[in-house]
Amino acid sequence: MSAGDEYHSLNSSDTTPNNQQPRSIDDFLDSAYRHGQSQIHYHSGPASTFLYILQRWRYHIVFLALGLANSGDSAEMGCTSYILSSSNFQHDILQDGNQDGGEVDFAKRGAAIASAHFGGMLVSGLLSGVLADVWGRRSTLLLGLTCNTIVGTLSAMARNATELCLLRFTCGLGLGMVISGVVTLSAEISPPSRRGRFMTLVASCYTLGFLYISLWAVIVFKGSGSGNWRLFMFVNVMPTIIAALLVTLFVPESPRFYLCR
């Protein structure tokens, strides 16, 4: 066979895969997830389990990061009800003049602090989707996590109700961005054959955030309602800090975002 015949044979329509229909993003994600799975099937027992975990570790870390981000969101949303019941918080923030015997203002200060993050979420919910389409899903998620990390830490140092109310509103802005990024990335980077279980796993972490903060409320406030509410607010932000680190290191940008660009 001559060089010309060989070239023609390699580029003929009945032998080259280039003339096949192009793969979709879902096909690519599924192929990447299943890469090497056939070799694993030849093994059995502990070796097979170890190979499976090693093969999938990147996916496990990615969705662990997204789940922690979701847990951090719910922890931030649920923490307010616990600090409002703390006698030390009432004295430091809600009591008129911060003096013993002063009236605790639940009607105005307490209500404003409890609802401020919902106002921020309303604003962020309207804008974060646009931001995710323009700037990227991962970048939007990281912006929300960074915002909540900073605001959550500053909330533990708030000196009065006005400061805390503004910080909780800003936290709501971050919560909306995190929700937008987590939901979109979970759907767009998961392989279609496993999309249901991955998204359910990430969504279930929302409940874990409430359980996490409830456990710490029992530890910090105990049965009397006293306790260091500032320590509680700092502990509350830990899932968000860990999620921000994991997202920075392991979570990729959505391939659909790159395709749209």
- State how far the alpha carbon of 153 is from the alpha carbons of 7, 133, 195, 230, in Å: 65, 29, 34, 9
pLDDT at 228 over 60: yes
Cβ burial 20-30 (10 Å sphere, 16+ → b, else e): eeeeeebeebb
Please, which pLDDT band fits residue 19 given cuts at 50, 70 and 90?
Answer: low
pLDDT at 181 over 60: yes
pTM to 2 decimal places: 0.80
- Give the per-residue pLDDT at 37: 55
Ramachandran category for residue 232: left, alpha or beta (phi over 0 → left; psi -120 to 50 → alpha): alpha
- Give the per-residue pLDDT at 198: 82
- Give the per-residue pLDDT at 192: 76
- Give the per-residue pLDDT at 16: 41
Q: How far apart are CA 232 and CA 83, in angstroms?
A: 8
Top-confidence residue, 25 or 59: 59
Beta carbons of 63 and 78 less than 8 angstroms apart: no
What is the average pLDDT score of the chain? 81
193, two tokens: 């054959």
Angle between helices 46-84 and 137-155 (to 10 degrees): 50
pLDDT > 70 fraction of the chain, expressed in percent and rounded = 75
34, two tokens: 């299943």
Beta carbons of 55 and 32 less than 8 angstroms apart: no
Please, which pLDDT band fits residue 22 given cuts at 50, 70 and 90?
Answer: low
Please, which pLDDT band fits residue 104 given cuts at 50, 70 and 90?
Answer: confident
pLDDT at 221 over 60: yes
- Give the per-residue pLDDT at 261: 72
Beta carbons of 156 and 234 less than 8 angstroms apart: yes
pLDDT tens-digit map of 105-156: 777 898 999 999 999 999 998 899 899 989 999 999 999 999 999 999 999 9
Q: How far apart are CA 247 and CA 139, in angstroms?
A: 10
Q: How far apart are CA 247 and CA 64, in angstroms?
A: 9
Please, which pLDDT band fits residue 12 given cuts at 50, 70 and 90?
Answer: very low
CA angle 243, 130, 69 (to 5 degrees): 10
Please, which pLDDT band fits residue 2 given cuts at 50, 70 and 90?
Answer: very low
Taken in order 100, 105, 111, 113, is the CA torsion positive or negative? negative
- Give the per-residue pLDDT at 1: 46
